[in-house]
Structure formats: structure tokens, C-alpha cells
Structure 1
């Protein structure tokens, strides 16, 4: 295990944790910046019944807090943090190369209202209090295209029920994907977990920024789709 590995997983994890060799500058971001930005107290030994990591303990006040699940290269997360400086943005991403890219973007943008968990979003949802998050984002998640792998997608009860728990009543949950079958499953699975569909279609949100994954989809002829849900009242 390298010095930059996130904590070992406590549960099944199917995605990649490493890609190509990190540049020296990216290794510097990880060694110098990640520790200060990581939520404290999330470990492999955690007991969710005893441990709570509150938004106030992360950001130091009672500001609104948003959660990005799988931030990829970090374009969207940094964009939202810069656009909404009074909001705290927590990002979760187990792919260490993506974490390194995000940290470089955070330095370049100079945003300070961010927190980075270099691991599975489920770890974060385990320890956040109920009804503590004001908005959540799932942008271009791993499509797991084979039918036998659809249970690995984020839009399954294993992930959606914990997400619903930590979202406040009325909170938005936004999903962007270029995979029609992923959108199909999203529309089927999310409402029963405690959400109401608000909008869907090919027009992005007004504060959207196109990410590297979206640009790749467009180059390859795939059509982006954007879906918004609202967390139901408890």
C-alpha cells in the first residue's frame, strides 16, 4: 500500500483506486494539502452508532453544506465552491488520481469552503447526522454497463437510503449522466428511497459547469441527461 492510499475499505468496493503514476506536483498536493482538507474521525474502525462527524465540526459554523458523490477531476466541486462561498462543499472520491487533480484545482482557485474525503461516499454518509446536508450531486457516475453489475451503481437502495437519511427534507439531489440505462435506473430507484422527481431532460442547471467526463461523452456522440429530485419530508 502506497503512502497516498485512502483508508482500506470496510465493505465491498468495485471501482478503481489508482490510475497512471502521479506527477510529482500531484504527490505534493496529496502530502501537503489532503490532511488539512479531510474530515477528521473517519476510519476503518468507525462505529456509526457512536461516531458523528457534523458539518459544524468540518466547517466551523452552521452554513449550508452540500455533498458531491464521486467528484471525478474536481471541476464541478471547485466551480460550486467558488460560486457559492457561503456554502460548505464535501466531496468524496476513492480514485486517488482524481483526488490529486481536485487538490490542484483547489490551490489554483483559492477556495477554502471545501472538505475532501479520499474514499467511498458511504463512509461519509455513515457518520453524518440525519438531515444535515442541503444538496447532493452525482455527476457522471461509473455506469457499470453490464446487467450483472447494475447492483454496483450508486442508484441502488444500498446507497440511496443512506443518502436520503443525511439529506434535509426538501434538499435537492442532482444526477447527470450520458448513459440512458443509468437514467432509467435512476428514475426507477430514487423515488422509492424517499425522493420526488422535480425535473429531467437535456438542459443542464443554470449553475452547471461541463466536466471532463461530459466533454468526453459529447465527443463520442452521447447525449447528457440531467435529473433533479427533492428529498421528501420525513
Structure 2
């Protein structure tokens, strides 16, 4: 199978990695891989072998939410996907302290990971404060587009939950337009449901900054139809 051409927008590394963060990447990252994801190691795109309940967090930032969910649900394997290596290193540091053995990490493009997730493998997915790409000409780069949502929907079983959090109103608009088209149902029952965080939510560093700067968090929950 030939590798498709995929533009990747955004940073994969900041200006500087702390010595400790470099050490985490060298010593810990390979052992936490969910399996053969890369095209070089898995050119036939053989599906990963996943055991038990599995969730996915796309773009975990520094990993606060992922570690929190792993602590609350020790019997669930949670795969975190993040291309920004500074964030990956921050998560690895947190995992050293928290000793959560139910986390797997893909440090790369979420589309490569979703290529090899078995159909219907995921019971929940999180998309929390994704890059907003605020300029109109860049909206096609957002995660809530068919290029990303179609493979995500394929990897989620019927009834599986997709959680989206954002502080950008136009991202809410595009999410409510595109996610149902991909095979999901918005589960809101009351007008203010989008204002209420989930019962097991933990405020991330990014959300705290958004609130300080006057932006309003939006919490959207969808169920995979099927």
C-alpha cells in the first residue's frame, strides 16, 4: 500500500526541550507505543491489536486530562495522540510521577494512527481545545473536517461517545455542522448543556488561560450512530 500524501500543518517541536524531557523521549516513548503505526514499520497498514476497552484523545497538549482519565478508569486503555514533541515529553514526565500503566502514546499524525485502528475499536474519543486555525482560509485544516472525522467514525463503535471542548465560537459552529454529517448525533437535551463540563472533567492549563482571557468554554457531546 502506498502512503497517501497528507499535508501537516502546525508545529512538531518547540525551540528547546529540557534535558529531562529529552531523556523521557529516549527512555520512555517507545515502550508506550500502541503498536506498529508508522508507515515504515507497517506499510500494509495491518490493524493494531487492542485488548479490552480503548479510548482515544486526539491532541492531548501537556497531558493533564489524559492522565486524569487514566487514573479514573484504570481498566481502560487510553491512547493519546500528539505530534508536538514538547507536549509528548510533558506527558511522559507526568506518567513517570503518576505511574499509569493504561496509557499508550502515538507521537505523530492522528490520521496515521486511525489508519490502523480496527473498525469499531473505540468506546470514547476526546477532542479538547484543538488548534482553532482562526483564519477562514485555514478552516479546512481543522480536525472537524471529513478527512479526520470519517476515519474517526469508522474506528468508533455504535453508541461510542465523542467529546469536543473549545473556546472558539466558530469552531462550535463548524463542529455542529460537520460532526453529525460524519455519523454522530449531538446528545444535548437542554439549551445550556454546552456550558456544563462533563462530571469527570478536569480543567486543563489551556482552558484556565482561555477563561482568564475572557473566552467561554463550550462542551459538546456526540454519540456514534449505527
Same-fold call, TM cutoff 0.5: yes
Contact 1:64–1:134 (Cα < 8 Å) also in 2? yes
Unaligned segments of structure 1, at least 5 residues: 1-8, 57-62
Mapping 1:207-222, distance limit 5 Å: 207-222=200-215
CA distance in 1 between counterparts of 2:130 and 2:66 reads: 14
Partner of 1:206: 199
What is the RMSD computed on CA atoms of the aligned residues? 1.3
Partner of 1:154: 143
Cα offsets for 1:150-197 (capped at 9, x unmatched): 000000000000000000100000000000000100000000100000
Q: Aligned pair 1:195/2:184, yes or no? A: yes
Among residues 103, 110, 113, which one is paired with 2:102 in the alignment? 113
Partner of 1:39: 34
CA distance in 2 between counterparts of 1:54 and 1:174 reads: 24
The structural deviation recorded for 1:10 is 5.7
CA distance in 1 between counterparts of 2:181 and 2:194 reads: 20
Partner of 1:6: none
CA distance in 2 between counterparts of 1:82 and 1:20 reads: 31
Among residues 22, 26, 44, which one is paired with 2:17 in the alignment? 22
CA distance in 1 between counterparts of 2:220 and 2:155 reads: 20
Count the aligned residue pairs.
218
CA distance in 2 between counterparts of 1:29 and 1:89 reads: 19
Cα offsets for 1:126-168 (capped at 9, x unmatched): 0011000000000000000000000000000000000000001
Q: Aligned pair 1:137/2:122, yes or no? A: no
The structural deviation recorded for 1:201 is 1.1
The structural deviation recorded for 1:207 is 0.2
CA distance in 1 between counterparts of 2:91 and 2:15 reads: 16
Contact 1:136–1:172 (Cα < 8 Å) also in 2? yes
Partner of 1:92: 81
Unaligned segments of structure 2, at least 5 residues: none
Among residues 21, 46, 51, which one is paired with 2:46 in the alignment? 51
Query: Equivalent residue of 2:157, what SS?
Result: strand
The structural deviation recorded for 1:110 is 1.0
Partner of 1:227: 220
Q: Aligned pair 1:103/2:92, yes or no? A: yes
CA distance in 2 between counterparts of 1:92 and 1:73 reads: 11
The structural deviation recorded for 1:39 is 2.1
CA distance in 2 between counterparts of 1:67 and 1:205 reads: 16
CA distance in 2 between counterparts of 1:121 and 1:79 reads: 21
Partner of 1:3: none
